[in-house]
Structure 1
Amino acid sequence: MWASIKETIKTVVYALLIAGVFRTFLFQPFWIPSGSMKETLLVGDFLFVNKMAYGYSYASCPSIVIPALGIDVDAEDFCGVFKGGNDRLMGSEPERGDVVVFRHPVTGRDFIKRLIGMPGDTVQMQDGQIILNGEIVPQQAAGLFTEPFVRRGQPPNFPTCSNGTVPIGEDCLKQRFTETLPDGRQYTVLNVGDRRLDTTGIFTVPEGQYFFMGDNRDNSSDSRRAQTAGGVGFVPFEDIVGRADRIMFSSSGTSLLAFWTWRSDRYFKAIE
């Protein structure tokens, strides 16, 4: 009997060790809790973050947040001793247009956004369009993005609609555009209407830091707002966790375990 218990304990310990190594050095699971990256990423998408893409820093250590159990341990708790150098082990620079998970430089919470500004770049918004190093990043109209007006995410929120007040369950619309970066990389961005952050001053990205924006431009807390104003601001290289490459599966419900709400058209979908 004791031998059986001992073997069971060993199996559990080994499994935890393997899972810890997998999450620390290779891939980190990530669930999309908000609509800031629509339509590239939808609330309920589940993906793995590629930690090997940019090398390793203190931010590569796992975060364990389980509110129901009162557990809130983040990467800095595990590996904070390595923070402060703004460098990475086996580091390689991310590419403009990558969808990246990073730690918020102030709160430490994991965010996912698109990389727009590299070190040394100037970034500005004018009437909803990016001005990158003095050149307009072109947008081409691509119809409408439609979703039901229902609460989703953590915490659950209604989406913002360009067609005004919408009854619950009815279609919520947003303008849809294809944006093309200087290297030819394309992706979809959404627009609700005229908003304060559609026009900004000029941001000059410091050396060793990056400028991120959400694809759902009017519903994203990102580098357009300074950290002192509750935004993300510039993100240091060491705060990057990894690159989001592919959606594994997706649930349109409030829980990933609600398999009847899974979106079959998003299984193993590449992230552009």
Structure 2
Amino acid sequence: MTSEASAPPRWRRILGSGWFHLFAAIIVTSLVLSFVAKPYWVPSGSMEQTLEVGDRVIANRLAYLGSGPSSGDIVVFEAGPSWEIGVPDAPDPIRGALRWVGEVTGFGPSGPHTLVKRVIGAPGQTVSCCTESGALMLDGAPLDEPYVYNDLRFEAGVLDCTTEPRSTRCFDEVTVPDASYLMLGDNRAGSSDSAVLCRVAGVSDDCWRWAERDDVVGKVFVTYWPFSRWATF
């Protein structure tokens, strides 16, 4: 019979218990999701063909410590009221549990207002469209965008920024406000993005929908599922 003197210390029994290991795993997972990396399930085709519907990606939450997103970055962010996402679903324990699993693993729905787009303009930069050949312009220089898929129709002299009607690819020059970012989808004709309400002539300046700096979750740096679509950015 084991004597009380030879029994393991209480702290060792606690540290060796399965419940403690489970609790520690939950704490570590929460810290990683909050401060290091966050998995995300791509729900729409707005970033095709860079990201396909159902792709699982990881956003680096440390990418912008002491800095901010740059033009060309693919970013996960929480959409603000101007994005008109709608009223959140009423509380539902089952949906809440499934969403928590999705946010932890990436295999399921992420937050109801979480979007992924490409940064085009950072604070203070000017963005406009288009050049005579239909290119997007950043600070007066045309952007090389090999990632664009399914662009909006543009044909010089037939349907461009000077014709009536003008091409829906066009929008007037805008300067990105402080702590904000102009976001577009790579699938330009299939993306509800920062410029979607501004692609007609005569709209007001408040047509723009900005991604706010405080709402940026992180920079997408890898597609990890399905394995056939593994890619880094």
Give the shorter-chain TM-score range: 0.5 to 0.7
**Which of these residues, 48, 53, 70, is aligned with residue 95 of structure 1?**
70
**Are 1:188 and 2:147 matched, yes or no?**
yes
Paired residue secondary structure (1:190) = coil
Given candidates 161, 167, 172, the residue that maps to 1:201 is 172
Structure 2 runs not aligned, ≥5 long: 1-12, 86-111, 155-166, 199-203
Deviation at 1:191, TM superposition (A): 1.9
User: Which string of whole-angstrom CA distances, capped at 9 and with x for unpartnered residues, describes residues 195-240 of structure 1?
Assistant: 9641112221012211111100011111104699xx8712221111
Tell me the distance in 1 between the aligned counterparts of 2:40 and 2:215.
16
Which residue identity lines up with residue 142 of structure 2 in the other structure?
Answer: I
Counterparts of 2:134 and 2:176, CA distance in 1: 19
Q: 1:120 to 1:32 in 2, by over 3 A?
A: same
Query: What is the distance in 2 between the residues matched to 1:113 and 1:192?
Result: 15
Higher strand content, 1 or 2: 1
**Cα distance per residue 1:131-185 (max 9 Å; x no partner):** 22233324xxxxxxxxxxxxxxxxxxxxxxxxxxxxxxxxxxxxxxxx1xxxxxx
Counterpart code for 1:100: V
CA deviations over 1:40-85 (Å, ceiling 9, x no partner): 1111211111001013xxxxxxxxxxxxxxxxxxxxxxxxxxxxxx
TM-score (norm 1): 0.56
Which position in structure 1 is the counterpart of 2:49? 39
Residues 223 and 233 in structure 1, CA contact (< 8 A), matched pair in contact too: yes
CA deviations on 1:68-123 (whole Å, 9 max, x unpaired) are xxxxxxxxxxxxxxxxxxxxxxx312221111111112257111111110111111
Larger radius of gyration: 2
Q: Conserved in 2, the CA contact under 8 Å of 1:100 and 1:115?
A: yes
Does 2:206 match 1:247? no
Matched, 1:265 2:228: yes
Out of 59, 80, 84, which is 1:49 matched to?
59
Query: C-alpha distance in 1, partners of 2:187/2:171?
Result: 17
- Asked whether the equivalents of residues 129 and 198 of structure 1 are also in contact (C-alpha less than 8 Å), the reply is no
Alignment of 1:14 onto 2:20:
no
Partner SS for 1:22: helix
How far apart, CA to CA, are the structure 2 residues paired with 1:16 and 1:51? Answer: 19
| TM-score normalised by length of structure 2 | 0.65
Amino acid of the residue matched to residue 270 of structure 1? Answer: T
In structure 1, the residue corresponding to 2:17 is in which secondary structure?
helix
Give the AA of the match of 2:149: L
Distance in 2, matches of 1:113 and 1:197, equals: 19
What is the distance in 1 between the residues matched to 2:225 and 2:196?
31
Q: 1:211 aligns with which of 182, 195, 207?
A: 182
Note closer, same or farther for the CA distance 1:20–1:232 as it changes in structure 2 (3 Å cut): farther
Corresponding residue to 1:131 among 131, 134, 137? 137
Q: 1:220 to 1:128 in 2, by over 3 A?
A: farther
Q: CA–CA distance in 2 between the matches of 1:100 and 1:243?
A: 5
CA contact (8 A) 1:189 1:215 kept: yes
**Kept after mapping to 1: 8 A contact 2:48/2:187:** yes
Q: How many residues align?
A: 172
